Amino acid sequence: MASEAFPEALGFKNGDTSVHTARTMMLAELGDIFSAVPAEGSREDYWRAAIEDNALGKPSMVTRRSTIAHMTELYGLTPGIPLFRSLRRLWPQAGLGRPMLALLCACARDPLLRLTAQNALKAKEGATIPRAQVEEVIATGAPGRFSPKMIRSAAQNTSSSWTQSGHFTGKAKKVRSRPRVTREAVAYALFLGHLCGLRGPALFTSFWASLLDRRPEEILTLAEEASAAGLLTLKQAGPVVEVGFPGWLTPKEEALLR
């Protein structure tokens, strides 16, 4: 599923471009910019905070501009984009689930990070993945697109993102670990599947659900917590499961989804 085309009208990205040829998913910067801009802030507010107020603490104007440009590409930073608006709404209460929220959004909007997902997820806990293996995944999955130097950079940056999300630990040596998952992260993963046209039990076994690194029954338990907290609606009768996301989309976006 990671190689399929996703609905760009709802905020997903397909194609050849990738922030990860130059940057990681920038988890720390995402937290900083969210702290500097209110939840209802506009794209212009995020850019103003980064450039004029230097909310990201960058040493030069060039770095400020390039960083916020990469962040906009990766996360959207625009309330009119459903993927970003939902991420921003869930962020304050997500706590330890914030790295997973960021990873889910980054995968939805960065095809190259998505390309490396299967390789990262298939590693067993405690196993290591050498960078050469990640380079091979990128070279094979995107033949002829990148120079050897860019492949090395992309492998390093994607590996760093998988470490920031909690799927790995360590710096030079990446060791597979289990990421933190909260009800907010589960709600967001199910929502991404919903935007891709999945319904019912399929939401719990989707590509987006696989990023959570949890069994379907564990995801269901956290979905029940999300439902109790009013984040989504969940109805279950035997094997039949219905998940709803009231208020997550505007009427226009609902029409696009249909």
- Is residue 40 situated within a structural domain? yes
224 and 207, same domain (yes or no): yes
For the entire predicted model, the pTM comes to 0.96
pLDDT class for 1, splitting at 50, 70, 90? very low
- Is residue 236 situated within a structural domain? yes
Bridge partner residues of 242 (DSSP): 235
118 and 105, same domain (yes or no): no
211 and 131, same domain (yes or no): no
Domain range for 70 is 8-111
- Is residue 39 situated within a structural domain? yes
Each residue's pLDDT tens digit, 166-199: 999 998 899 999 999 999 999 999 999 999 999 9
- Is residue 208 situated within a structural domain? yes
19 and 42, same domain (yes or no): yes
84 and 102, same domain (yes or no): yes
141 and 100, same domain (yes or no): no
Each residue's pLDDT tens digit, 29-52: 999 999 999 999 999 999 999 999
- Is residue 1 situated within a structural domain? no
